Amino acid sequence: MVSSNCQRILSGFRSSLRRWTPINSRYQLARQHALKADTDSLSLITWNIDGFSPRPVARAKLLLGNILGGAGSSRPDIIFLQEVTTSVRSLILDNPTVRETFLVTDAEDQTSFQGVPFANMTLLSKDRFDFSFNEVEPPPENINPQDVSGSQPRLGVGPISRIQLPSKYGRAALCVDITRSDSLNPMMSSTYRLINVHLDSLGDPLAFQNRTEQLHILADLLRAPSSGGGLIAGDFNAISPRDHALLDQNGLVDAWLFLHSSHHGTEPRDEEVKQGAGAGATWGVGTKRRRDNLGLGRLDKVAILGVKEEMEVLQPGLIEVPVPGKPSSYIPHSDHCGLKFTFTL
């Protein structure tokens, strides 16, 4: 199994300079040890925003608005997006709420988008993750985590890497390491991996073989000596019973099954729940069965190791597509539903 890593940068928007600027990882690594957190509950939304259907930018704008919410709404701490085109990347980076409240991967250049129709991007809340733009500012001493974040402790951010996977489509996983200090010994910290994925598509034997290898590589990253666990979330393209067995085979927990099966934490008796034809379906909602016979499916997942909590499916809205000389048609903002997962480190 062959994979390669490309180091990436996490950036924040600097209003004074009117541009995205890389954050200072050296500052983070020094500062994180002072940030003591007894409980770290984080919320994640993952969504394949559909790079192929008509009006991709308009649809992405509506989806992003739904994810970010309005004034006073609770925004997620972590956002995973898949099928981000270069034009949608620009939309994300130009969004005022994103600029004000999030750190973003792949703002520095379009390297990750070269030679592929789309890529995945990860956004981290400035309120929950510690950062600085100042390379020379020393880490402050005796930090009270409540002081630096208002009401919740902030976590450190470690290396960012894009892992090129064995893939027919040039797919890569986007891995962000986050760190938290030990509640009893603030000088000790644990690292957790957040991996944003879009595994190979379609049901041909090569695609399934690639998905098998891809998931094995990513599961090994969660079990690495430097990692205390974490999650893999995004579009798994789990279109067959064999795909749904891959998490078990790699020692990972399917968060939806754990939280929604009839035996809570064990395999459900009802195969429909496992395959996703019920409430857990994230693909094919509101669309006709395709010519390749793919219908409702739980293609999108959150696979966890060492974290747990609660999860829900987020339904896309509809957007108008004008048709010359005919009544307009309406299509979903995406052919995928989103997933919202709240977890505790």
The DSSP secondary-structure symbol of 14 reads: E
The one-letter amino acid code at 120 reads N
CB-CB neighbours of 260 under 10 Å = 18
CATH number for position 76: 3.60.10.10
pLDDT tens for residues 240-287?
Answer: 889 999 999 999 999 999 888 754 444 444 454 455 556 688 988 666
Element housing 265 (H / E)? none
DSSP, residue by residue, 71-90: TT----SEEEEEEE-HHHHH
pLDDT at position 41 is: 87
Q: Of 159-173, 177-191, 226-240, 290-304, where does mean pLDDT reach its minimum?
A: 177-191
The rounded distance, in Å, linking the Cα atoms of 300 and 282 is 6
pLDDT tens for residues 178-204?
Answer: 988 765 555 567 889 999 999 999 878
Number of domains composing the chain: 1
Element housing 312 (H / E)? strand 308-314
Q: Of 68-82, 87-101, 110-124, where does mean pLDDT reach its minimum?
A: 68-82
Give the pLDDT mean for 95-122.
96
pLDDT at position 39 is: 56
Domain that includes residue 64, residue range = 4-344
pTM: predicted TM-score of the whole model, two decimal places: 0.87
